[in-house]
Amino acid sequence: MASENRLIHGDAKEVLASIPEQTIFACVTDPPYNYEFIGHKWNTQEIERRMERASAPNSKILVKNIPYGSHLAGGVRNARWYERVRNNIIDYQDWCFGWAQPLFKACVPGAPVAVFNSTRTAAHVQVALERAGFYARDILVYRRHSGIPKGLNFSAKLRKENSPDAERWEGWHSCFRNEWEAVVLVQKPLDTNYEINVKNYGVGLFNTRERDGGFASNIIEGISNRKDKSLADGHLNEKPLVLMERLLKMLVPKGRNIVIVDPFCGSGTTLLAAKNYGVSYFGIDIDENCIKASRARLRQKSDLFSLDNELSAHGI
């Protein structure tokens, strides 16, 4: 499988299970966050349904990371509500474990796996990955700017009710402004030690050298979160291309023999980053529209060689 660039339409769990063992050298992915896992749907029709619902008059639903969350969207905090939240967490962890297992088998020893998630759900992803056999290395911080969050502004609510306590509760809110996303970083166990692992598989260490000669931090910042204007419709939760390129440079050395996988490739940002960086890629997505968008984007951004020939060679 080495040096192949592939784009596959299918369920991540099933496609990953079909990959030969020890042929993947790294994974960088941005899966659906656990904001509402009921139904386990992640396709164009479901996204459109949720966006339409969110755009209705007086809607307070925030559609940013799909699926958005039933347990974040209000409701009475009774025993049944918390039970739903807990069951949702268990379902999400089991779902993550479902694709983490075949990913573990497909990875070479020492392969790094970087998985984006929200600050409140990253732990659930890490538990699932460790359960599959990976071991935790770090939580990277992708720092980005954001506006004031939707939630309960208690003072404002009291003012609407003409409550005399409104001033006392000024500044009290149901959540903080979220300016960062978590990147769960795990690794497949090494073959004996770092030296032997690098000699045998070419991965296992992290590139800590910054452009200014400094030592890299686990906080990634200073990256614009502007969308790629070349995408006609964009992607609801598209990560900046520069961010994915930086992650790859931190995790793997250059070389066409290095194959990275993104089981939830969306609009293909990770794959394009891999292409630009000089490593091979394997992209998977359950949404056929995402596969089409990735294919078109990779063709449009082709610079070093003919992607049309590359894709046709693999029946894509």
6-34+94-139+185-313 placed in CATH 3.20.20.10: no
Q: What residues does each domain of the chain span?
A: 6-34+94-139+185-313, 145-178
With cut-offs at 50, 70 and 90, classify the pLDDT of residue 178. Answer: confident
Identify which has the larger pLDDT, 315 or 236.
236
Residue type, 60: K
pLDDT in tens, 133-142: 999 999 999 9
- Integer Cα distance of 296 and 232 in angstroms: 10
Distance separating the N- and C-terminal Cα atoms of the chain: 15
pLDDT in tens, 266-314: 999 999 999 999 999 999 999 999 999 999 999 986 543 333 333 333 3
pLDDT in tens, 19-68: 999 999 999 999 988 765 444 555 556 556 655 665 666 655 444 443 33
Contacts of 129 (CB under 8 A, 6+ apart): 96, 100, 113, 115, 136, 184, 186
Please tell me whether the overall predicted TM-score, pTM, comes out greater than 0.85 for this model: no
